[in-house]
């Protein structure tokens, strides 16, 4: 029995935390047992090589890995998601990179707010004055309050939690029967739920938040429900990034020991830190937040609620729920009124979540007569095609290449990222534009698309993404690097990374697979519903990535269909604006549920034409260049 | 500032528990702080003298008390609810009396079960079989389950707690899509709430409990909701007795520091101990209990839920609620399925609680055409007068004399209690009947009424309750005791108490006030609704006390109105049977709410004729003996 096996002691430095574990335990699990959480960006699959730790004393057993050189191994480094405890150990954990760069609304351009819904928030605040009880009128406190609130709001029932009921008598009497009540009417039917009651008459904004729980970033909008005003918006990286960069890695991480609980805690901590920052900035206590509406993809919503995500990853891809139960902030550990309702915008399927439903809502797709293509290219790629009458949706397992993963010098669209590249057709010298100015650190999605298009036009690469080997020259922009041919976008001396910033042939293949998956998804869906892509009247693009790409270049590489440029619109974070609409309007909430239920979901994996479409899309712009007439003309020049 | 004051150390023996408290702290509070709970039957008012502790070392300050003799004080005894810490102390706490005499159904006669409601319990159990998901049909787990359950039960919505949703995926797959679901449909509208889900098909009874939360005793009925069968019933003393014998003492105790939380814990422990006993006896785990219906007076229900009871005691006597919110067993700490709903039968006012609503339900009063008087004489006395068309109700602050409090040799109707007394008209020698046989320990309510009637008939006392001083004789049954004249019901040598069992003139005055309050309540209420008591067609008597009294004697002392004996019926614990009906039938539950809302409540204190009626009733049987014609005839003999 394992309980009888001798346990080994592993001590983690610099925090001097020791745990006793059986031989054979993975280092990452031993660390977690002691509360030491090591970043595993691939979710612990041994596929990224970023969970390196130093073995100061003792032995580990370690299978071979392409991510650990013999020299590193000789120096005592080990991959903590692969190395197993083989003796008593002392292990040094390198300091974590600080990833919680908080970005506030003002720092990246103006906000686009759309809410054309009638303003009818679920949560209402009332100032009440009651006549005190007497021997002639000694109804219970609850009955007195219920009658008053029912009259004010025209509701039949008023429910209340035991936690609040316990304080009812003292609150009513302290305020001499004048109180401020906060009532949530977001439930079914004509009933209200009392979520807060305070002595006296409290004024000021009635605070609530809309949250986009993104795989990479979490955005929180602070709203005054009384006026509908957006008070502020703060965005931060999702702390879960340390446990995997894409949803699949997170799901894999969630299946380890306490992985699910840890991921749930990390995203709640991310949100709570933003809420605390909002509170400091705008001078309120977070317990004043009376409602939370959250939108996220299906995996993110599952992890936010602590629901197991495993079956999202395994065929036939079944989430625990698409329509989520009403929960309270207290149940999730969110820093808000513990009785505040947390409404998760409903999703459609395992890979089309509430963020897409929210996008349909805030983009206006749900009410347009125009044949519309809605795209959200974030860590995944989701597509909706339709109009107010019908909608069909699918998800492409595009992968997070455009967010920097799997691309040697890739990074997210943050300060220091190359977001635009121009290549001189004669000299092949690039001109780059860097987010925030200054020297570049790496290259982000829009920069990749830009570089790809330019390299194609200048014949550095061919339609298949292969380098023109005739251009390869030692010390020049096109050269043969350690991993094959590559293009140097910035020399080490021009960069802030301390090394050359390059795009390799491997990177380019990754990018072509990503754009190919998205285009193939669009094409399959259009054919399934009998629509020719040229009939699409508008293309609405949501997601952080979509904000910075250049339509012309995205068409040139075959990511977007070849339509007149004026049919494209970039809408920014459609997910958080959808959540904001739901916060402000019960009608928007009802519509969100109708949209989620009503969308036809197309499972690409079950579609036998998808693989053909995908293979055809693994060219720049496409095997069949006739689908891209404007690019055909350009390439012919 | 008090934080700067020097703290003193109090050590409680025999458990060696030490606490540090400021000087002046009451001993009972210091004890509670260390988790040492000392019995204070009067709620800590210094009115009963039963919270004696021994000061082994150190000083207490102690105001004078009639309950502590100078000799006791000299020996180091102190009343812990009066004595204040004046130095470091070592205190010995005497061992508690074991009060949890558990009585099972069989031990005290047969059970009377009434349920003529259509059997339609709120909780249902279903065996479900679902087709597994596939790529063509990959609805979420929750949607698959919801669709199946909705079809089976004909409901629109199915809600589920996050705690259960977290396990949904694994339960469905472990059972290979065959599961047993327990659904609570007790909520409003056409919706169900999933409270349990298990892999495979579970059979056996579907367990639920009906609880009477009495001031003195707690009764629990274990029921199989599938068949409606009563499996067992167990009764135990409410552990709260250690904190006060009547509701007023309990409320006073609840206002001390952690008093309310302590009382809540005690009653939950009482119920949990019974549930554990039921589980052992019938071989089930208490987490299998799927629903709880509780009935109690308003104070008991407040303390059960942890709601503050203070304003029930203070004019104008306003409870926090009469209709209680739906709570779960988990919230209350009850040993049942933590998601099981706990429904508290609604009450009418501060002193007419859910036990009376339950009594109206189980007695059949709600459906009879006959003019009916319903009486529940327990620790309090509540009265309902009416029929199916109308009902009016009031409460008499009768006090717990009939349960033994305030009566020198009084005790509850348990083993060893004298329940019947006959007095020889010539010799004045008594013949007594003892519950359970054997030597008597004390005298219970029915014994007191019996003795009172006999002493009146035999001229030992007069109509005013005063002893016939001519009969007083040293060493005889009628004598002058330490506290005035008394009658010796049993000599020390005949008793198991080790002392003479007596009824004193003070006891008799207490009893007369108690019976007078009840009769006055009946009389005032009848007049208020314009009914002559002789018109009452049936008198239904509920409560443990009611089971053992003799109608003839109760009329002789003027407790019950002088009606033909065949109009009286004793129904036993009508509260627990009402709760049982509510458990078995949603219709009964709806009727309970209708009854509670519909009853007209009469506040006796606000009625200016009550004091006159009360004063007139302070005679045996009454100042106006014409109201008791049968007794008038008897006394004339």
Question: Do A179 and A167 form a contact (C-beta atoms < 8 A)?
Answer: no
Torsion of CA B471, B475, B476, B477, to 10 degrees: 110
Does A611 touch chain B if contact means CB atoms closer than 8 Å? no
Q: Mark yes or no for CB contact A169/B305 under 8 Å.
A: no
Q: How many Å apart are CA B19 and CA A59, to the nearest integer?
A: 51
In 3D, which of B149, B136, B200 has the Cα closest to residue B171? B200
- Percentage with pLDDT > 90 across chain A: 70
pLDDT at B65 over 80: no
Does B159 touch chain A if contact means CB atoms closer than 8 Å? yes
Alpha-helix runs per DSSP H in A459-599: 505-528, 551-556, 574-584, 586-598
Does B303 touch chain A if contact means CB atoms closer than 8 Å? no
Contact partners, residue A360, CB within 8 Å, separation at least 6: A366, A374, A384, A391, A578, A595, A599
B396 has which bridge partners?
Answer: B381
As to burial, measured by CB atoms within 10 angstroms (0-12 exposed, 13-18 middle, 19+ buried), residue A14 is exposed
The reported pLDDT for the residue numbered A96 is 59
pLDDT at B2 over 80: no
Residues of B in contact with A141 (CB under 8 A): 311, 318-321
Provide the strand spans (E) within B204-323: 207-213, 217-224, 229-237, 291-296
The reported pLDDT for the residue numbered B605 is 81
Q: Mark yes or no for CB contact A320/B168 under 8 Å.
A: yes
The more confidently predicted of residues B145 and B80 is B145
Question: Do A377 and A403 form a contact (C-beta atoms < 8 A)?
Answer: no
Q: What number is the average pLDDT over the span A495-506?
A: 92
Neighbours of A125 (CB within 10 A): 19
Q: How many Å apart are CA B105 and CA B111, to the nearest integer?
A: 7
Does B131 touch chain A if contact means CB atoms closer than 8 Å? no
Question: What CATH number should be reported for the domain whose range is A207-344?
Answer: 3.30.420.480
Residue A100 has, within 13 A of its CA and on its CB side, a CA count of 12
Residue carrying the six token digits 């004595």: B83
Q: What is the count of residue pairs from A and B with beta carbons less than 8 Å apart?
A: 136
Does B139 touch chain A if contact means CB atoms closer than 8 Å? yes
DSSP H or E stretch at residue A369 = none
Q: What number is the average pLDDT over the span A159-182?
A: 96
The residue of B131, B155, B165 whose CB has the most chain A CBs within 10 angstroms, and thus the best one to mutate to test that interface, is B165
Q: What residue in B sits closest to A312 (Cα-Cα)? A: B140
The reported pLDDT for the residue numbered A70 is 78
pLDDT at A108 over 50: no
Provide the strand spans (E) within A327-379: 327-328, 341-344, 372-377
| DSSP 8-state class, residue A533 | G
The dihedrals phi and psi of B189, each to the nearest 5 degrees, come to: 70, -170
pLDDT at A111 over 50: no
Per-residue confidence band for B100, with pLDDT thresholds at 50, 70 and 90: very low
Contact partners, residue A212, CB within 8 Å, separation at least 6: A218, A219, A220, A294, A295, A296, A355, A358, A573, A575, A576, A579
In 3D, which of B26, B1, B94 has the Cα closest to residue B10? B26
> In angstroms, what separates the C-alpha of B411 from chain A's closest C-alpha?
34
Query: DSSP letter string over A39-85?
Result: P-TTSSSS-S---EEEEEES-EE----TTS-HHHHHTTEEETTT-EE
Q: What residue in A sits closest to B161 (Cα-Cα)? A: A325
Strand order in the sheet with B442-443: B430-434, B417-423, B442-443
Q: How many Å apart are CA A312 and CA A301, to the nearest integer?
A: 12
Q: At what angle do helices A445-457 and A629-636 cross, to 10 degrees?
A: 50
Does B138 touch chain A if contact means CB atoms closer than 8 Å? yes
Contact partners, residue B302, CB within 8 Å, separation at least 6: B308, B309, B312, B319, B320
A433 has which bridge partners?
Answer: A420
Q: Mark yes or no for CB contact A306/B162 under 8 Å.
A: yes
The per-residue pLDDT for range B563-600, each reduced to its tens digit, is 999 999 888 889 999 999 999 999 999 999 999 999 99
| SS3 assignment, position A194 | strand
The more confidently predicted of residues A342 and B545 is A342
Does B316 touch chain A if contact means CB atoms closer than 8 Å? yes
The reported pLDDT for the residue numbered B342 is 98
B118-132 exposure pattern, b = at least 16 Cβ within 10 A, e = fewer = eeebbbbbbebebee
Q: What number is the average pLDDT over the span A556-581?
A: 93
- Percentage with pLDDT > 70 across chain A: 95
The reported pLDDT for the residue numbered B442 is 94
The per-residue pLDDT for range A19-45, each reduced to its tens digit, is 999 999 989 888 888 878 787 777 777
Facing B135 at nearest CB: one of A307, A325, A606? A606
The reported pLDDT for the residue numbered A97 is 45
Facing B320 at nearest CB: one of A141, A315, A322? A141
Annotated domain spans of chain B: 2-92, 123-199, 208-344, 365-399+513-636, 401-511
Does B318 touch chain A if contact means CB atoms closer than 8 Å? yes
Neighbours of B625 (CB within 10 A): 18
In 3D, which of A520, A522, A513 has the Cα closest to residue A541? A522
pLDDT at B50 over 80: no
Q: What number is the average pLDDT over the span A479-492?
A: 93
Residues of A in contact with B138 (CB under 8 A): 316-318, 349-350, 603
Query: DSSP letter string over B383-447?
Result: EEEE-SS-EEEEEE---SGGGTTTSTTB--SSTTEEEEEEE-TTT--EEEEETTSSS--EE-HHH
Q: How many Å apart are CA B564 and CA A218, to the nearest integer?
A: 79
Facing B134 at nearest CB: one of A188, A316, A319? A316
The reported pLDDT for the residue numbered A170 is 97
Does B105 touch chain A if contact means CB atoms closer than 8 Å? no
pLDDT at B369 over 80: yes
Residues in chain A: 637
Q: Mark yes or no for CB contact B138/A189 under 8 Å.
A: no
**Helix/strand/coil (H, E, C) string of B32-88?**
HHCCCCCCCCCCCCCCCCCCEEEEEECCEECCCCCCCCHHHHHCCEEECCCCEECCC
> In angstroms, what separates the C-alpha of A142 from chain B's closest C-alpha?
5
As to burial, measured by CB atoms within 10 angstroms (0-12 exposed, 13-18 middle, 19+ buried), residue B433 is middle
B129 has which bridge partners?
Answer: B178
DSSP H or E stretch at residue B630 = helix B629-636
Q: How many Å apart are CA A605 and CA A517, to the nearest integer?
A: 12
Does A327 touch chain B if contact means CB atoms closer than 8 Å? yes
Lowest-confidence region among A225-234, A299-308, B277-286? A225-234
Q: How many Å apart are CA A185 and CA B130, to the nearest integer?
A: 35
**Which fold does the domain A123-199 belong to in CATH?**
Ubiquitin-like (UB roll) (3.10.20)
Neighbours of B480 (CB within 10 A): 14
Q: Mark yes or no for CB contact A322/B140 under 8 Å.
A: yes
Strand order in the sheet with A291-296: A103-104, A230-237, A217-224, A207-213, A291-296, A341-344, A327-328
Q: Mark yes or no for CB contact B603/A138 under 8 Å.
A: yes
Per-residue confidence band for B547, with pLDDT thresholds at 50, 70 and 90: low
Q: Mark yes or no for CB contact A138/B166 under 8 Å.
A: no
Q: What number is the average pLDDT over the span A306-330?
A: 96
Does A170 touch chain B if contact means CB atoms closer than 8 Å? yes
Peptide bond into A621 cis (omega under 30): yes
Peptide bond into B15 cis (omega under 30): no
As to burial, measured by CB atoms within 10 angstroms (0-12 exposed, 13-18 middle, 19+ buried), residue B475 is exposed
Neighbours of B16 (CB within 10 A): 8
Facing B308 at nearest CB: one of A166, A323, A350? A166
The more confidently predicted of residues B510 and B3 is B510
The per-residue pLDDT for range B459-475, each reduced to its tens digit, is 999 999 999 999 998 88
The reported pLDDT for the residue numbered A545 is 66
Residues of B in contact with A139 (CB under 8 A): 318, 322
Question: What CATH number should be reported for the domain whose range is B365-399+513-636?
Answer: 3.30.420
Q: What residue in B sits closest to A298 (Cα-Cα)? A: B140
Q: What residue in B sits closest to A191 (Cα-Cα)? A: B188
Q: What residue in B sits closest to A132 (Cα-Cα)? A: B316
Question: What CATH number should be reported for the domain whose range is B208-344?
Answer: 3.30.420.480
Q: What number is the average pLDDT over the span A465-493?
A: 93
The reported pLDDT for the residue numbered A101 is 34
CATH homologous superfamily of A2-92: Beta-grasp domain (3.10.20.30)
Q: What residue in A sits closest to B142 (Cα-Cα)? A: A321
The per-residue pLDDT for range B129-139, each reduced to its tens digit, is 999 999 989 99
Q: Mark yes or no for CB contact A316/B138 under 8 Å.
A: yes
Q: How many Å apart are CA B19 and CA B4, to the nearest integer?
A: 17
Contact partners, residue A70, CB within 8 Å, separation at least 6: none
Residues in chain B: 637
The reported pLDDT for the residue numbered B402 is 85
Per-residue confidence band for B32, with pLDDT thresholds at 50, 70 and 90: confident
As to burial, measured by CB atoms within 10 angstroms (0-12 exposed, 13-18 middle, 19+ buried), residue B63 is exposed
- Percentage with pLDDT > 70 across chain B: 95
Q: Return the CA Rg of chain A.
A: 27
Does A318 touch chain B if contact means CB atoms closer than 8 Å? yes
Q: Mark yes or no for CB contact A160/B325 under 8 Å.
A: yes
CATH homologous superfamily of A365-400+516-575+587-636: ATPase, nucleotide binding domain (3.30.420.40)
Question: Do A113 and A580 form a contact (C-beta atoms < 8 A)?
Answer: yes
Query: DSSP letter string over B94-138?
Result: PPPP-----EEGGGGS-------S--B-SEEEEEEE-PPP-SS--
pLDDT at A95 over 80: no
Q: What residue in A sits closest to B327 (Cα-Cα)? A: A162
Per-residue confidence band for A115, with pLDDT thresholds at 50, 70 and 90: low
| SS3 assignment, position A476 | coil
Q: What number is the average pLDDT over the span A375-398?
A: 91
> Same topology for domains B2-92 and B208-344, yes or no?
no
> In angstroms, what separates the C-alpha of B602 from chain A's closest C-alpha?
9
Does B226 touch chain A if contact means CB atoms closer than 8 Å? no
Q: Mark yes or no for CB contact A160/B191 under 8 Å.
A: no
In 3D, which of A588, A569, A567, A568 has the Cα closest to residue A577? A588
Facing B316 at nearest CB: one of A134, A307, A606? A134
The reported pLDDT for the residue numbered A401 is 84
pLDDT at A50 over 80: no
Q: What number is the average pLDDT over the span B245-266?
A: 94
Q: What residue in A sits closest to B172 (Cα-Cα)? A: A320
Mean pLDDT of chain A: 90
Q: How many Å apart are CA A453 and CA A512, to the nearest integer?
A: 11
Residue B402 has, within 13 A of its CA and on its CB side, a CA count of 30
Does A511 touch chain B if contact means CB atoms closer than 8 Å? no
In 3D, which of B386, B418, B399, B413 has the Cα closest to residue B600? B386
Does A503 touch chain B if contact means CB atoms closer than 8 Å? no
The reported pLDDT for the residue numbered A114 is 53
pLDDT at A432 over 60: yes
Tokens of B348: 């009418």
Neighbours of B342 (CB within 10 A): 23
């Amino acid at each position: 029995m394992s309980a009888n096996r001798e346990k080994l002691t592993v001590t983690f430095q610099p925090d001097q935390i020791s745990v006793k574990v059986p031989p054979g335990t993975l280092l990452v699990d031993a660390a977690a047992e002691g509360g030491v959480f090591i970043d595993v960006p691939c979710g612990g699959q041994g596929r990224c090589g970023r969970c390196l730790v130093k073995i100061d004393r003792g032995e580990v057993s370690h299978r071979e890995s392409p991510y650990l050189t013999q020299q590193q191994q000789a120096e005592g480094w080990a991959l903590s998601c692969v190395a197993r405890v083989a003796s008593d150990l002392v292990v040094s954990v390198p300091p974590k990179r600080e990833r919680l760069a908080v970005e506030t609304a003002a720092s990246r351009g103006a906000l686009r707010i759309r809410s054309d819904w009638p303003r009818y928030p679920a949560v209402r605040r009332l100032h009440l004055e009651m006549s005190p009880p007497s021997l002639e009128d000694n109804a219970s406190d609850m009955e007195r309050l219920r009658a008053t609130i029912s009259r004010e709001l025209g509701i039949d029932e008023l429910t209340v939690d035991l936690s609040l009921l316990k304080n009812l008598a003292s609150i009513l009497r302290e305020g001499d029967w004048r109180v401020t009540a906060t009532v949530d009417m977001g439930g079914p039917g004509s009933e209200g739920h009392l979520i807060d009651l305070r002595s006296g008459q409290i004024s000021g904004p009635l605070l609530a938040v809309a949250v986009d729980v993104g795989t990479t970033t979490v955005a929180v909008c602070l709203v005054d429900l009384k006026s509908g005003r957006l008070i502020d918006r703060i965005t931060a990286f999702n702390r879960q990034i340390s446990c995997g960069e894409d949803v699949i890695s997170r799901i894999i991480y969630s299946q380890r020991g306490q992985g699910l609980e840890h991921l749930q805690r990390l995203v709640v901590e991310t949100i709570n830190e933003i809420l605390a920052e909002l509170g400091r900035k705008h001078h309120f206590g977070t317990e004043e937040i009376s409602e939370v509406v959250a939108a996220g993809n299906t995996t993110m919503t599952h992890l936010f609620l602590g629901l197991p995500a495993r079956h999202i990853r395994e065929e036939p891809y079944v989430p625990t729920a698409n329509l989520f139960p009403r929960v309270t902030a207290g149940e999730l550990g969110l820093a808000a009124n513990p009785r505040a309702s947390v409404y998760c915008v409903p999703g459609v399927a395992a890979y089309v979540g509430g963020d897409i439903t929210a996008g349909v809502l805030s983009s206006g797709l749900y009410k347009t007569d125009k044949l519309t293509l809605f795209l959200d290219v974030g860590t995944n790629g989701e597509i909706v095609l339709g109009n107010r009458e019908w909608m069909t949706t699918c998800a492409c397992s595009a992968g997070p290449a455009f967010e920097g993963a799997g691309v040697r010098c890739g990074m997210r669209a943050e300060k220091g990222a190359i977001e635009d590249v121009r290549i001189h057709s004669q000299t092949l010298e690039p001109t780059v534009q860097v987010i925030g100015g200054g020297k570049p650190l790496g290259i982000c999605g829009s920069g990749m698309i830009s570089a790809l298009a330019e390299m194609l036009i200048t014949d550095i690469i061919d339609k298949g993404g292969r380098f023109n080997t005739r251009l390869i020259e030692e010390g020049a922009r096109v050269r043969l690097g350690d991993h094959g041919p590559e293009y140097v976008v910035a020399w080490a001396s021009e960069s802030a990374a301390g090394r050359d910033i390059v795009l390799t042939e491997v990177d380019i293949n990754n990018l072509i697979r990503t754009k190919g998956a998205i285009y193939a998804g669009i094409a399959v869906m259009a054919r399934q519903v009998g629509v020719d892509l040229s009939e699409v009247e508008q293309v609405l693009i949501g997601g952080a990535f979509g904000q910075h790409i250049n339509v012309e270049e995205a068409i040139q590489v075959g990511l977007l269909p070849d339509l007149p440029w004026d049919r494209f619109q970039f809408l920014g974070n459609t997910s958080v604006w959808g959540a904001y609409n739901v916060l402000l309007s019960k009608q928007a909430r009802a519509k969100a549920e109708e949209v989620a239920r009503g969308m036809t979901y197309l499972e690409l994996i079950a579609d036998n034409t998808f693989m053909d479409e995908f293979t055809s899309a693994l060219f720049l712009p496409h095997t069949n260049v006739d689908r891209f007439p404007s690019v055909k003309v350009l390439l012919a020049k």
